[in-house]
Chain A
Amino acid sequence: MRKSKGLKKGTLPVYIILWIASILSIFPFYWMFVMATRPSAAYNSIPPTLLPGDQLVENFMKVLDTIPFFQAMWNTILLCTTVTLAVLLISSLAGFAFAKFEFPGKNFFFILILLTMVIPPQLGLIPQFYLVSQLGWLDTLLGAGVLFLLNPLGIFLMRQYISESVPDELMEAAKLDGCSNFRIFRSIVLPIIKPAFATLGIIVFTLVWGEFLWQFTVLRDPASYTLQVALASLNNAFRVDFGMLLSGVFWATVPLIIIFLIFNRWFISSITEGSIK
């Protein structure tokens, strides 16, 4: 009884280390916010500025003058949402096929998917860029998104989940009632695999949200910028206004942090499910 109130004996060093790790993890977020509310000169002051100032609006206005921020935000949301929905559909269909149907060459195709996971994305970068430019998709969200449709991990997750959670008996019963395979997919499989959709959806959405190399390669026109490309362009000026720069980063990061804090359990479990299975 006595122990339950205070710290257990010997745990103090552990708490100290965990607190240090937590503070170091969060500090850059806090500091980004402080800098976003300060004039650019604040980073020069000694001792360093650690409390928020009053330039929150001014700095963000400067961001709006430099990059098409809201356009980039809209482009990013549109890109992430479309790609996520498309990957969910493609992966669940293929996962369903690999989990429940027998067809010649099934193992060959599955191993082929395994191999695609090992090829580094940079190998095809130049031909992919050439292909997209030939199709006239440079500076379009179509060009920026098409690469992300290739998501072998999604098929793995979906195959695993469907073979574990969709009972064969249910499918047979539906077949006896004259259900077509696609009807089975739509009315039996889809409702069952909703949790897997959440996992894969989070993985794909955050992946596309944060990816840089491909978006940077394909999107050259500011009107087509996604957030990451727009933010990176803030850093290209000869004399960078740090208050403005971190204001841009702050407002571009806040939406994802809010989503993360609300759904943190799902985010964290998506990592273990996505990497261990």
Chain B
Amino acid sequence: MESVQKRQQASKVKKSTTQMSEKKKDMLSGYLYIAPFFIIFGIIGLYPAVFSIVLAFQDWNGLGEMDFVGLSNFVVVLQDPLFWKSLYNTVIIGLMGTAPQLVVGIILAYFLNMAVIRFTNFFRVTIFMPYITSMVAVALVFGVFFSSSETALANYVIGLFGMDPVSWKTSEWGAKIAISLMVFWRWVGYNTIIYLAGLQSIPKDLYEAATIDGAGKVQQFLHITIPMLKPFIILTVFMSTVGALQLFAEPAVFLGSSAFNRDEAMTVVMYLYRDAFNLGSFGTASATAVLLLIIIVGAAALNTWLTSGVGRKQKRRAFTK
């Protein structure tokens, strides 16, 4: 009897050890399979990010020894009028380039989602096409369209409306408007596609019920479509905010060789690039990078909070009605 019990126990132990090793194998596989990503992450993601923050407190030109200088890099950057100008430019171009996209994107998506509209696939493909063009290509094509010459196509077009020719590359607002337009042109289709996916996820019976209750199209749009679209709006606002603050290729390529010598369209990333690679001041450039991180996190949080607030208010109003 006893020996049988012992044998049973032994086999149980054996079973559990093989199970253990199976579990251990899975654990090992797990670590092994995530290792490539995390090794790369450590070398080119985490280490540079930490190094950047350290550099922000050093005086360094990339070659000699580093000198700890405390907060003076931040003081230098924050006292530089050009930094503030570039932040102002970035915010203005960001607002002009992305905010209209939200409205136009929702309208286009709403139209493309209407059951009675035909050729929607054709419209979808054409409206989305600008997104596959690279930023450099967009900036170059718009650079010719908005060339500084009086006979530029853009000047011809505004001339049709009785406006005087604008020097698009060298005037304060000309450069900003041209760059905002190219940002708008390239991204509006992208946002339309995201909103369209959002609209298609709204259950049809919500609209049917509202129609039975006697709600008009506009009321349905305000009280069903917009609130149901909220997660998608938050997503696009978040992405637009982060993207707009990182603007670099469009202004840098649009202005060509004079890009880093003029201040009408200098963005924060261009300011950072100029500090690091044209002036060789890695310390202040890193301080700018840290400031940019703070600005991006702050703006993204603020905008996300604002957009979710708009939806909340509307919902509350709908309830009180």
Contacts and interface: CB of A to CB of B under 8 A. Distances in A.
Interface of A: 8, 11, 14-15, 17-18, 21-22, 24-26, 28-29, 31-32, 35, 43-48, 89-91, 93-94, 96-98, 101-104, 106, 109, 112-113, 116, 118-131, 146-147, 149-150, 155, 175, 181-182, 185, 206, 209-210, 212-213, 216-217, 227-228, 231-232, 234-238, 240, 242, 245-246, 249, 252-253, 256-257, 260-261, 264, 267-268, 271-272, 275-276
Interface in B129-167: 129-138, 140-145, 147, 149, 151-153, 156
A44 B141 CA distance: 15
B86 interface: no
B4 interface: no
Given A14-B117, A106-B30, A242-B144, A124 B51 contact: yes
A123 B290 contact: yes
B170 to A, nearest CB: 15
B282 interface: yes
Interface string B120-135: 0011111111111111
B45 A213 contact: no
Interface of B: 22-23, 25-27, 29-34, 36-38, 40-41, 43-45, 47-49, 51-52, 55, 62, 104, 107-108, 111-112, 114, 116-117, 122-138, 140-145, 147, 149, 151-153, 156, 185, 189-190, 193-194, 197, 232, 235, 239, 242, 245-246, 248-249, 252-253, 256-257, 269, 272-273, 276-277, 282, 285-286, 289-290, 292-293, 296-297
Contacts of A14: 111, 114, 117
A35 B145 CA distance: 10
Nearest to B269: A122
Given A11-B117, A14-B111, A276-B197, A122 B153 contact: no
A46 B248 CA distance: 33
Contacts of A32: 141
Contacts of B134: 209-210, 212, 227-228, 252-253, 256
Nearest to A98: B34
B144 A246 contact: yes
Contacts of B292: 120, 122-123
A185 B248 CA distance: 40
B137 A249 contact: yes
Contacts of B152: 43
A97 B246 contact: no
B249 A213 contact: yes
A217 to B, nearest CB: 7
Contact of A264 (B125, B197, B257, B289): B125
Nearest to B242: A120
B141 A249 contact: yes
A129 B289 CA distance: 14
28 contacts: A25-B128, A28-B138, A28-B145, A29-B129, A43-B147, A43-B152, A44-B149, A45-B151, A91-B37, A93-B36, A93-B37, A101-B27, A123-B293, A124-B44, A124-B48, A126-B282, A127-B48, A129-B277, A149-B40, A213-B269, A216-B249, A235-B257, A253-B134, A260-B129, A271-B128, A271-B190, A275-B194, A275-B239
